[in-house]
Structure 1
Amino acid sequence: MRIITILILMLFISCKDNKSTISIENEQLGNKNILIPEFQSIIDSSNVVGSILIYDLDKDLYYSNDFEWSNKSNLPASTFKIANSIIGLETGVIESDTAIFKWDGEKKWLKEWEQDLLLKDAFQYSCVPCYQEVARKIGVKRMNEYVQKLNYGDLKIDSVNIDNFWLKGESRISQMQQIDFLKRFYNSELPISERTEKNVKKIMVMEETDQYKLSGKTGLSTDEGKYNGWFVGYLELKNKTYLFATNFEPKKAFDLDAFIKKRIDLTRLAFQNLNILK
């Protein structure tokens, strides 16, 4: 009986110490940054390296497996289509959410791009040629001015790269910066019109059910042979809102189609791990 009592006591002390360690780790990171080891397990089991970052808008808390990676900057890739849409609408380059991008009849990288596309379709299909046209019409001067107004990452924009600066080169943004931008956008704190905000929020909606609404944008870049994947956006429940920015890279051997799919899949798994989604 004495042995059993000692074992129970040791187990209690062990559990207490473990909770204390987690608490200390979170204090060291800052009480707003909560390490979630299960996110790392999701990453490790998926043949990728990177970070899942989720922000609780109401509690002002960040959840991630790797806050160092979350502060690491990468090319924004097609996540910049959020800002590009905003700037296009604000400058009048994009007239409204009913604007149509005409297909030029040329063969494109994706079959979905080989048709006339409404703004929402161009956004959801991530039509690179459509948004390259928008960027060229906005021009270097206005693009730089608006990027600064929006306080969006650290972008290097000039006359040479005006239609691809978000896909290759020196432009960078971190997951933390993505969340900051999305937070200001969601809270109507950006210096943009109500009309623009409403239209961009409309085209960002990916899925809507009785329980939640998911809005976001994926991104994929390959710079000097290195792939990098994004999924950023926000998840709205009845009484809660979460912002997210997932970023990762494949390990040496990988399947590109599977890698592309994982951007959304791993984010969903993280929300399920936090019991936010079922």
Structure 2
Amino acid sequence: MTKLFNTSKLVPAFVFVSFYLIVASCTPDNIKEDDSLKTFFDEHKSTGTFGLYSNGTGSFNIYNLSRFADSTYTPASTFKIVNSLIGTELGIVPNDSTVLDWGFRVSGRTECDTPLTMREAFRRSCPNWYQKLAQKIGVATMQRYLDTLGYGARYKKFVIKNNLDTFWLNNDLKVTADEELGVVKKLYFNQLPFQNRTQELVRNMMLWEDNANYKLYYKTGWGTTPSGNQLGWIVGWIEENKHPYFFALQVESPDSKIDMKTVRLSILKNILKKYGFFEGKK
């Protein structure tokens, strides 16, 4: 793969990677709207959307299609995928064992408020570590990468203002679930404009379950909507018999007491189980 990014020169702005045309490029015959998945959200008194893309057949199973393809929300910690790619490509964090001093901001989470490697910060989803990384990347460089990737540009270009360390957390930057799925799909196939090594490093950090039947890769996210509802994400893929299936799950709840960490993973696994995953037969 030709190296598009390096530490001294960024690709021209016209090299634009589209993430949100996956659903748009499908025909109605390739999309199955599955309203039966609503029961998994109802169990937790929540709303949301889910999409599963089979790379082998080019087909989609989607619950709440309009929300999946057209509605934008804060990416929250799913942005750590992009942040990690940029930081690694620039050499700020040469590998996932690089320790970055978190002293820029204390999160109040004991497991985060200590020197961490990138792998630890990614998997613990520590905001302070990645806020420091964003500061090291800088406004101009971060903006150019976002422009090149087209990330968060579903309806208009996103511009970083005085929010370099918070734009992915506070509803300034917004993405669709379709766009989130597009990111992980391109990441899997080394189709993002980063070196293969960079993409492989980030993929490896996303692997949570690996056994004889399947491999499950994902990144979570948690935030709030402008109205104050909890918003949870899980984006990634499940691989069985070397066949990848990409997914994006988004869960929204007005209940401030809901354990979103548990709920989002429960919904994901129940949906995947319904579709016959985890048995190594796909």
User: TM-score normalised by the shorter chain: which range applies?
Assistant: 0.7 to 0.9
1:69-113 CA distance string (max 9 Å, x none): 102110110000000000111112212222012354986322211
Change (3 A) 1:253 1:194: closer
Q: State the match for 2:56 in structure 1.
A: 58
Give the partner amino acid of 1:260. K
Q: State the match for 2:177 in structure 1.
A: 175
- Residue 72 of structure 2 contacts residue 176 of structure 2 at CA under 8 Å; is this kept in 1? yes
- Residue 156 of structure 1 contacts residue 165 of structure 1 at CA under 8 Å; is this kept in 2? no
- Which secondary structure state, in structure 1, belongs to the residue aligned with residue 29 of structure 2? coil
Q: Following TM superposition, by how much is the alpha carbon of 1:33 offset from its aligned partner in structure 2, in angstroms?
A: 1.1
2:161 corresponds to 1:163: no
Q: Distance in 1 between matches of 2:107 and 2:41?
A: 32
Higher alpha-carbon deviation: 100-109 or 58-67: 100-109
1:102-150 CA distance string (max 9 Å, x none): 3549863222113221111100000100000111111111111112222
1:230 pairs with 228, 233, 247, which one?
Answer: 233
2:216 corresponds to 1:218: no
- Which secondary structure state, in structure 1, belongs to the residue aligned with residue 278 of structure 2? coil
Higher alpha-carbon deviation: 61-70 or 155-164: 155-164
4+ residue runs over 4 A deviation: none
2:252 corresponds to 1:249: yes
- Which secondary structure state, in structure 2, belongs to the residue aligned with residue 207 of structure 1? strand
Give the partner amino acid of 2:130. Y
Q: State the match for 2:273 in structure 1.
A: 272
- Which secondary structure state, in structure 2, belongs to the residue aligned with residue 144 of structure 1? helix
Q: State the match for 1:141 in structure 2.
A: 140
2:67 corresponds to 1:69: yes
Give the partner amino acid of 2:77. S
Q: State the match for 2:40 in structure 1.
A: 42
Give the partner amino acid of 2:181. I
Q: Distance in 1 between matches of 2:83 and 2:273?
A: 31
Change (3 A) 1:192 1:265: same
Give the partner amino acid of 1:178. E
Taking structure 1 as the reference length, what is the TM-score of the superposition?
Answer: 0.84
Sequence identity of aligned pairs in percent? 28
Q: Distance in 1 between matches of 2:129 and 2:100?
A: 6
Give the partner amino acid of 1:232. V
Q: Distance in 2 between matches of 1:239 and 1:91?
A: 31
- Which secondary structure state, in structure 2, belongs to the residue aligned with residue 74 of structure 1? coil
Q: Distance in 1 between matches of 2:103 and 2:82?
A: 25
1:147-188 CA distance string (max 9 Å, x none): 222232237342410001000133111111111121111111
Q: State the match for 2:12 in structure 1.
A: none
- Residue 184 of structure 1 contacts residue 190 of structure 1 at CA under 8 Å; is this kept in 2? yes
Q: State the match for 2:109 in structure 1.
A: 110
- Residue 104 of structure 2 contacts residue 128 of structure 2 at CA under 8 Å; is this kept in 1? no
Change (3 A) 1:161 1:104: closer
Which ranges of structure 1 fall in alignment gaps of 5 or more residues? 1-27
Q: Distance in 2 between matches of 1:277 and 1:47?
A: 26
- Count how many residue pairs are aligned between Structure 1 and Structure 2: 249
Aligned Cα RMSD in Å? 2.0
Q: Following TM superposition, by how much is the alpha carbon of 1:37 offset from its aligned partner in structure 2, in angstroms?
A: 2.6
Q: State the match for 1:10 in structure 2.
A: none
Q: Distance in 2 between matches of 1:176 and 1:51?
A: 10
- Which secondary structure state, in structure 2, belongs to the residue aligned with residue 277 of structure 1? coil
Change (3 A) 1:240 1:161: same
Change (3 A) 1:254 1:222: closer
Change (3 A) 1:32 1:100: same
- Residue 50 of structure 1 contacts residue 249 of structure 1 at CA under 8 Å; is this kept in 2? yes
- Residue 215 of structure 1 contacts residue 233 of structure 1 at CA under 8 Å; is this kept in 2? yes
